[in-house]
Amino acid sequence: MTVVVPARPALNSEPAAPALWRRFRRQPGALLGLFITVLLIIICIFAPWLSPHDPATQYPNGLSDLGAPLPPGHGFVFGTDALGRDVYARLIFGTRTSLTIAVLSNLIATTVALLLGTLAGYFGGLTDTLIMRLTDVLISFPVLLLAAFLAAVLRPGIGVIIGVIGGVSWFYLARIIRAELLSVRQREYIEAARALGASDARIIFRHALPQILGLVLVYSTLNFSTTVLFVAALSYVGIGVQPPTPDWGNMIADGSQYLTVSPWLVIFPGVFLGLSVLAFNLLGDGLQGALDPKRARKAG
């Protein structure tokens, strides 16, 4: 007897690349987000070549005769801080620090969410119950306070910050993946593959996960904005990136003491932080629209 395996349906999460790009570029906000994101990536890669000064050096000519920070100009494009360091150099290298931490912590969060969400959604039963109860307990804590507590207990450092932010950012994505897989595992082609003797691992990697990769990509992109804010928030309260390493959070914290007399110390890192959050949100929203043909038709 011949068993006919139902074909997998065409998925919104797996469109052809040209069609995906056409739907993406119809959205002005998505293109703006992509442009800012590419610009930030260029800054991160070429930071040593884009900065004429060292970010940690206290320059003798970096302070006024009264010992105050210098405003933009005077040989320093964005002025200097209270220690005579070049704000532009610290901003460029701070961009690299902030985004590197955000990228790595987001990768950790996405990996953990994929692992636990897939186990809970595909196998169900006791596995699902245990993972979801753990997720419920962790979600009940304010995420920022939980991250701050862990960062304060552990020795501050970039590696610790990456692990802490990644460890508290997977909850919601894991629940979304679990909910999607609860639906996917009931589809005909999954049942047919199981009836033909395919292993669970093969079904998960060849049939189930490809159905949700678009969803994971969208939510991971949107989560970048959250992780960027996490990095800045922890550094702002002194338990994130430690001086003299620059990042947007500790630059804003240091500059807030001189807000009324030297506002550029807060404005420039604040603008970069705001632009990065905006870019990742626009990019994630654009990907969602490109991966959803119904929404793309409405936008077009």
Q: Which domains does the chain have, with CATH numbers?
A: 17-48+81-299 (1.10.3720.10)
Phi, psi at 63, each rounded to 5°: -130, 155
Q: What is the 8-class DSSP label of residue 2?
A: P
Question: For residues 289 and 296, what is the distance between their CA atoms, to the nearest angstrom?
Answer: 5
Biggest CA-to-CA distance, the chain:
93
For 261, other C-beta atoms within 10 Å of its C-beta total 10
User: Residue 7: its pLDDT value, please?
Assistant: 42
**Which residues, including other chains, have CB under 8 Å from residue 54's CB and lie 6 or more apart?**
86, 89
Task: Confirm if 38 and 52 have CB atoms less than 8 A apart.
Answer: no
CA atoms within 13 A on the CB side of 276: 29
User: Residue 187: its pLDDT value, please?
Assistant: 83
**Which residues, including other chains, have CB under 8 Å from residue 285's CB and lie 6 or more apart?**
27, 29, 30, 33, 222
pTM of the model: 0.85
* Residue 83 C-alpha from the chain's centroid: 31
Question: For residues 128 and 182, what is the distance between their CA atoms, to the nearest angstrom?
Answer: 10
User: Residue 293: its pLDDT value, please?
Assistant: 56
Q: What is the DSSP string of 243-288?
A: TTS--HHHHHHHHGGGTTT-THHHHHHHHHHHHHHHHHHHHHHHHH
What does each of the 300 residues of the chain score in pLDDT, given as a tens digit? 333 434 444 444 444 677 788 888 889 999 999 999 999 999 999 998 998 889 999 998 888 888 889 999 878 999 999 999 999 999 999 999 999 999 999 999 999 999 999 999 988 889 999 999 999 988 888 877 888 788 778 877 888 889 989 988 899 999 999 999 988 888 888 888 888 888 888 888 888 888 888 889 999 999 999 899 989 998 898 888 888 899 999 999 999 989 889 999 999 999 999 999 999 999 999 998 888 755 445 444
